Chains A and B, each alone.
Chain A
Amino acid sequence: MLLDFEQPIAALEGKLREMQKLAQDSQVDVSEAVEALETKIKALKKETYANLTRWQRVQLSRHPDRPYTLDYIEGMTQKFVELHGDRTVADDKAMVGGFAELDGRTVMFIGQQKGRNTKQRQLRNFGMPNPEGYRKALRLMKLAEKFGKPIVTLIDTPGAFPGLEAEERGQGEAIARNLREMFMLKVPVICIIIGEGASGGALGIAIGDRVLMLENTWYSVISPESCSSILWRSWNYKEQAAEALKLTATDMLKAGLVDGIVKEPLGGAHTDPQKMILALKKTLTKTLDELEALPADERISQRIDKFGKMGVVVE
């Protein structure tokens, strides 16, 4: 799948491959031309990705070849024991989690899971958890706390599921409870937006000592599409809505609403998933070291103070 702004780059890359093939077949020395083209591609990539509009970042965040939660867990850790169920009604396949070994350290990983093909997407409910997903997440967090293991949450959701049964089983209550309980967790909590961070459905697992965003992700109170539909009363203003919401990693860091940005490979996480996974692993290990150096009560009070200061008012 090619996004429109990826097309000029892909065209040059195609030309490069042709040239390399030609050189191979005809023994003509084109190394200078190849080098020039490679430089040109790199420059174009840099320029393109430095100047993406907010809506283009949203498109990147949804790219189906981006690593998803289970890809990160598999790629970063040596052992992973997946745990299921909220112990009340069901196992929500849109929310996954379990203990994993990250270079000798046991970590509880929790995150929304999307699917890559139609069947998987349905199974994962497009990464939209039901209340039992949030309750499963909380159960696993409490388990991690009990055994003194740090928690890493990976956020990638277009929102909590707006369905009939979700309402019957208390979607609002499930998310609300997670917010309150996560503030009091005695173990370190790191939250990473790895794709889409849509509203309460994202926040429901995103209260942490550090909240980080990958470079090409978004995090806001509503998706650009829904914002367009409500404020402009039309689906056609999603680009404007994305601009107005200031929902990119850079915007959110500037506003002081997240703590850092994890760089993606040039061209986006989907162009080199392995590199992305390793980059995130490095950041995670470093951040875990920092947080584990603090006493639990200090972490909790810093966590509460940080969120307590968010917001801008005139007084």
Chain B
Amino acid sequence: MQSMAWFKRQEKGIITPTEQKKETPDGLWYKCPECGTVADMGEHRRLLYTCGKCNYHDRIDSAEYFEVLFDDNRFTELDTNLSSADPLHFVDTKAYPQRIAATQRQTGLKDAVRTAHGLMNGQDLVVACMDFRFIGGSMGSVVGEKIARAIDYARQHRIPFLMISKSGGARMMEAGYSLMQMAKTSAKLALLSEAGVPYISLLTDPTTGGVTASYAMLGDFNISEPGALIGFAGPRVIKETIGKDLPKGFQSAEFVLEHGFLDFIVDRKQLKQQLTDLLHMLRPAVVEAPAVPR
């Protein structure tokens, strides 16, 4: 009988090589790394990249944050031409310029921060947002310089400044220069503060090292998203120091809030409205001239 021959396995075992396996194409489905719930990408985007079941906040890039915050995703990007030099001719397992070039190709980004001016519910806002995909969101000269310029821009135009941090800390390949970006950005924030222009610092998952120890912790308002990792030393280093496992939830946004270093934690879906409301309350009171009787 030949009728069922098409049904019969001719060769034993699975012979399809891994790379030829047919899986769901990337970008159609999203699986939550926290609870495993699967959602279609459109739904995931509609929920601003949070899980519909457990509210896990997925890591997103500057492009998504700009879309979340700016009206109709319209904004003017600032200082788009800055990219990293290699002042120290730094070579570890790879030469620094090669690392930069490869990362630029892979991410389509110039460096680990983008800065922009746009409207958020009709109010002017300057935003600097870090990209973790670019060498772990590390802060070198470009990151420091772009943030410094964005702060100057905000001060000169008297527009509130929002910093969205997402970084492993300072970039080792620029060594001393990276360290001084902490100083530079803090100097600019001192001037912004003196000018009375509001500064909101949103610390997202993860924010550690020299970024935490400079601009990220210097907001008039320090805020975060649920579950974000925030710290100075990384968990691995602390674990090595104390020789014990770290308590559950250590260095989570909720932990940092509990210890008094955050003003509030905001669900990404409420971020735009909450920032709008807060900044609205800070607007200078309009004093009407008293009617002078003649």
Interface centre among A172, A219, A311, A313 (most CB of B within 10 A): A172
Name the one of A246, A257, A311 contacting B145, with C-beta atoms under 8 angstroms.
A311
Given the known interface contacts A166-B232, A307-B184, A313-B84, the answer about A220 and B93 at a Cβ–Cβ threshold of 8 Å is no
Establish whether residues B141 and A168, one from each chain, have CB atoms under 8 Å apart when the complex forms. no
A222 at the interface (CB under 8 A from B): yes
Closest A residue by C-beta to B141: A311
Establish whether residues B212 and A176, one from each chain, have CB atoms under 8 Å apart when the complex forms. yes
Contacts of B83 in A (CB 8 A): 313-314
Given the known interface contacts A199-B170, A312-B177, the answer about A177 and B237 at a Cβ–Cβ threshold of 8 Å is no
Contacts of A308 in B (CB 8 A): 148, 184, 187-188
Contacts of B88 in A (CB 8 A): 244-246, 255
Contacts of B137 in A (CB 8 A): none
- A203-223 contact mask (Cβ, 8 Å, vs B): 1 or 0: 110010000000000011110
Establish whether residues A176 and B213, one from each chain, have CB atoms under 8 Å apart when the complex forms. yes
Quote the shortest CB–CB distance from B10 to chain A (angstroms): 47
B15 at the interface (CB under 8 A from A): no
Establish whether residues B232 and A200, one from each chain, have CB atoms under 8 Å apart when the complex forms. yes
- A7-51 contact mask (Cβ, 8 Å, vs B): 1 or 0: 000000000000000000000000000000000000000000000
Name the one of B141, B176, B188, B209 contacting A313, with C-beta atoms under 8 angstroms.
B141
Contacts of A315 in B (CB 8 A): 81-82
Q: How far is the CA of A170 from the CA of B144 in the complex (A)?
A: 22
Interface residues on A, range: 35 or more
A252 at the interface (CB under 8 A from B): yes
Establish whether residues B217 and A307, one from each chain, have CB atoms under 8 Å apart when the complex forms. no
Contacts of B216 in A (CB 8 A): 172, 176
Contacts of B93 in A (CB 8 A): 231-232
Closest A residue by C-beta to B189: A180
Establish whether residues A164 and B190, one from each chain, have CB atoms under 8 Å apart when the complex forms. no
Contacting A at CB under 8 A, from B76-101, are: 81-85, 87-88, 90-93
A310 at the interface (CB under 8 A from B): yes
Q: How far is the CA of A221 from the CA of B259 in the complex (A)?
A: 27
Q: How far is the CA of A175 from the CA of B85 in the complex (A)?
A: 28
Name the one of B148, B171, B210, B238 contacting A200, with C-beta atoms under 8 angstroms.
B210
Contacts of A168 in B (CB 8 A): 259
Contacts of B180 in A (CB 8 A): 203, 257, 307, 310-311
Contacts of B231 in A (CB 8 A): 167, 172
Establish whether residues B238 and A163, one from each chain, have CB atoms under 8 Å apart when the complex forms. yes
Quote the shortest CB–CB distance from A214 to chain B (angstroms): 16
Closest B residue by C-beta to A199: B179
Name the one of A171, A240, A304, A314 contacting B84, with C-beta atoms under 8 angstroms.
A314
A105 at the interface (CB under 8 A from B): no
Name the one of B148, B215, B217, B241 contacting A162, with C-beta atoms under 8 angstroms.
B241
Establish whether residues A183 and B213, one from each chain, have CB atoms under 8 Å apart when the complex forms. no
Q: How far is the CA of A176 from the CA of B215 in the complex (A)?
A: 7
Q: How far is the CA of A313 from the CA of B180 in the complex (A)?
A: 14
B214 at the interface (CB under 8 A from A): yes
Contacts of A181 in B (CB 8 A): 190
Establish whether residues B260 and A170, one from each chain, have CB atoms under 8 Å apart when the complex forms. yes
B279 at the interface (CB under 8 A from A): no
User: Which residue numbers of B lie inside 8 Å of A, CB to CB?
Assistant: 81-85, 87-88, 90-93, 140-142, 144-145, 148, 170-172, 174-184, 186-191, 193-194, 209-210, 212-218, 231-233, 237-238, 241-242, 246, 250-251, 259-261
**Apart from A173-B217, A315-B81: 8 A-B pairs, beta carbons within 8 A:** A162-B237, A163-B233, A181-B190, A183-B190, A200-B179, A247-B175, A252-B176, A313-B142
Name 29 A/B residue pairs within 8 A (Cβ), A-sorted. A162-B232, A163-B233, A164-B250, A168-B259, A176-B186, A176-B216, A176-B218, A179-B186, A181-B190, A184-B194, A199-B179, A200-B210, A203-B179, A203-B180, A220-B176, A222-B175, A247-B175, A252-B176, A255-B88, A255-B177, A257-B179, A303-B187, A304-B187, A310-B180, A311-B140, A311-B141, A311-B177, A313-B142, A314-B84
User: Which residue numbers of A lie inside 8 Å of B, CB to CB?
Assistant: 160-164, 166-173, 175-177, 179-181, 183-184, 199-200, 203-204, 207, 219-222, 227, 230-232, 240-241, 244-247, 251-252, 255, 257, 303-304, 307-308, 310-315
